[in-house]
Structure formats: C-alpha cells, structure tokens
Amino acid sequence: MRRFLFILLLALVATAAAQPNHVRVRIFSAATIEQMTVSFDLGAYRLYADDTLLDSTLTEGTAIDIKRQGKTVSVIVGNVDYGTHQLVRLEATDTACILCLNPRGTAPRSYEGNLEISAAKGKGLLIINDVEFETYLAGVAQSEIYGESSEIFRVQAIISRTWALRNINKHKADGYNFCDHVHCQAYHNRCVRPDIMLGTIASTGETIVDKDGNLIETPFHSNSGGETANSEDVWRTALPYLRAVPDTFSYRMRQSDWEKSFTEEQWLSYFSQTHRLNTSDWAVRRTLLTFQQPHRLKHLLQVPLTRIRVDLKLKSTFFSVDYDSVHHRVTLHGHGYGHGVGLSQEGAIRMVRLGIPYNKIIQHYYTGAKIHKDENTQFNYVQNYVKHIEQIIEEDKHKASQTRSKKDDWLGRLFRLRDREEREETYDPLLEDPDSEWKYEW
C-alpha cells in the first residue's frame, strides 16, 4: 500500500507537470562493463530473464553475478546458475528499494528503482536504470553540484528538470531516455542525502520558461570567473536568455582562478603551427604575448578562444597573458571553470549563502526567464513528503556521531515515518463484531 501511495503522489505530480512518471537512464555509459555483482541494500527485488520470473525474494544478503556471454547475459544467484538470456530485469517490489552495483574494474554505485541488463551493441553490458523521474533528478543534483543547503539543490533540480523535459527523447533510438555522462546529465549514484532530496521535492512542478512560456535551454558550468558568456560566443546560436552578465558572486570560490604556464616557444608555436599565424610579425607576436581580457572576448587574433581552450586543455576561455621576457615564459592567468554560459554553480552557491531566493538566482543567470509553477501540482502531497524529510534531517543533527547501518538510510526511514502516519486506527462503536471494532486506514 505504501508503494501505491507514493506512486500516486509522483503520478499526480508528473501528470500535472506533463512530465514522465519513470525515465530510463543508461548507467556506466562511459565504461565498458563485462561483468558485475549486484547486491541488495534495502527492500526486495524480483529477478526476470526474458520475461520469465526466476526468483521473487532477492533481499539483503543475496548477490547476483552477471556476465556478458557473446550476445547474451549469464546469471548466477548464489549456487544457482540460471544460464544465459537476452534480457535480465531486476524489479523492485516496493518504492523503498535499493540495489548496489559492483562492476569489475569500476567503483561501485547504488541505485533505486528497476534495473535492466543486456549485451551492448559493441562491447560490454548495456545497463539501464528504470527509475522515478524525481528520484533521477535528485541523483543528478547530487552528481552535478556541491553545497550544504537544500536551496542550492533546489536550483539544480529546477535546471535539471527543465533540461530533461526538453530532451526526454534524446536517446529514444537507443531504447532509453538519457545516459549518465555529461553528454546528458551526470547521474553517478542514487541520492544518499535527505537534504538533496528535500531540495528536489520542494521544487516539484517548477521549470524555467522564456517570456512566451516555452522551456528554455539551461546550460550551467562550475564557475564563471566573474562574468558569464553569451551563447553565441561559445556555440553558434544567440539566445535572448543566455546573455553575458556580471557575476561577482563567483569570486573567491573553489574554481574562481587558475594558472597555466608555457615556454615562449611552446605558446608561439601553437599559433604558428596550428593556426598558421605569422609569429615573426612584430604586431602578431606582441598581441599574443600581451593579450588581456578585462571582459570576456570571443577571439584572440581571429582564433576562437573556445578552440584554444580545448587544444591547450584550459579550464576556461577567460584568461589573460603574462609574459616573462627574462625567463621567456608565458603564464595564463585564468578565471572560472567551464564554458561560462548560463548558471555558474559556485556563483549560485554563494548567492544561496547570502540568502538570495532561488528564483532570483535563476533569473540572474537566465536573462528574462522565469520559473513556471504548474498550478495543478498536488502541493499538499509534496508538503507532506517535505515534512517527513525535514524530520529526518532534524533527527540526524542529534545523532551526528552515531554509526548507522543500512537500515538507517534516509529512504527506509522515510517510509517508516509514512507507515506510522498512514496506519491511523479509528474506532467504530456501531460495529458488533469485537474482532472488527478496529480497522486500519491505509
């Protein structure tokens, strides 16, 4: 019953926001996984192979070994060898279910929801996490940004939700919605922190739209270095909501500044050999050795700064040149990390710390855009969910020094809280049967 109520919540939210209830995400997409072990941290799973139920009671303490065999997948549970199959599926029996994936040669990860495994078109396994949309967004927020406040994760969740709804069919031809690489959005683990889920759920129904009410593109980067970039200075298209804006909030953060040095010969040779510039010309040479960017520019002597950044593996295009004529060295003094378009994550973190509301943060980085709140979102359900997570966070503050077991995971605790609330006992004096005087309302 608790599974039904939670799915009802997400279904109501998803329908109102015109968003999917579930999404299919290819995980470990940047790695070639030939073999892995799957174990279970919470709840129970059913094992299917080619639509045949093989095991209905996979719980904590059970492990499955999965290995690619040609164009099929072999499955071993304990001492039982179930042979090879085209498709293996692990299906959660409840919403509060967690499985742990331990691939050979790659760091382990844990996920909620269902799992599908088959042979990839090339090498390795094709591993797909079939998961609730909001659960996916919480995992993205955890993978994409750091912070100590649920508000920063609310900002990231809104950005990620907007991107996901715009790109819901990005990998449709491949049989899933998204991959877990930065090609889509990073999704490298289930959400393990209740404050991240709190920010995600608090943002339910919220997306970013332009003046006409259309979902916008929502690029973001680590740090702008003090000024964001116009979209056409990095990519081809000029978008009215992706304008360069001053961003002092990004100063004095982790990725605010950087340096990289070259010999004079290395620096000049790059431009002469790669871009055919005449570095023996005094004017060209002087420009290359004295280049400054008090504000973001697009070119250095007609060479796109984006190309220079990629070729020389720089953190950003926002740099100036310091030439040491004595030692014949060139030092690039750079600012920021990333392409510079849209939201600066570290700038947003600073704004949250300063108490600036999340909607003002988004409006600062996406010019003229606004947050759309779907008026049909079932906020009474959402607020009840938020209340329980806030209770868990408050309990954790008083138990910070205690060692926790897997059963103390916030997801399991959440559903224990919901169970207690949902099992309300009501007495009906009109009932004659003493065994039926108390009934449970689920």
DSSP characters over 221-253: ESB-TTB-B-HHHHSS---TTS---B-GGGTTS
CA distance 257 to 101: 37
Q: Which residues of 222-253 are buried (b: 16+ CB within 10 A; e: fewer)?
A: bbbbbbbbbbebbbeeebebbbbbebebbbeb
Rounded mean pLDDT for each run of 10 residues along the chain, 442 residues in total: 40 49 95 96 94 92 95 95 97 90 94 96 95 94 93 97 95 96 93 92 93 96 97 95 98 97 98 97 97 97 97 98 97 98 98 97 97 74 74 77 63 68 46 38 34
- Whether residue 88 contacts residue 73, with contact meaning beta carbons closer than 8 Å, is answered with yes
Note the pLDDT of residue 11.
41
Note the pLDDT of residue 378.
60
CA distance 325 to 332: 14
Instruction: Enumerate the domain spans of the chain.
Output: 2-199, 205-250+340-373, 257-335
DSSP E strands, 326-428: 329-335, 343-344, 370-373, 424-427
- Whether residue 117 contacts residue 317, with contact meaning beta carbons closer than 8 Å, is answered with no
70 burial via Cβ count (<10 Å: 0-12, 13-18, 19+): exposed
Note the pLDDT of residue 237.
94
Strand order through the sheet with 114-119:
52-58, 45-49, 87-92, 114-119, 125-132, 22-27, 178-179
| Neighbouring residues of 79: CB distance < 8 A, sequence distance ≥ 6 | none
Element (H, E) at 84: strand 80-85
Phi, psi of 86 (to 5 degrees): -75, -40
Note the pLDDT of residue 16.
34
The alpha carbon dihedral of 281, 285, 287, 293 has a sign of positive
What letter represents residue 184's amino acid? Answer: C
Q: What is residue 408's DSSP assignment?
A: G
Q: What share of the chain is helix, strand, coil (3-state, %, to 5)?
A: 35, 30, 40
402 burial via Cβ count (<10 Å: 0-12, 13-18, 19+): exposed
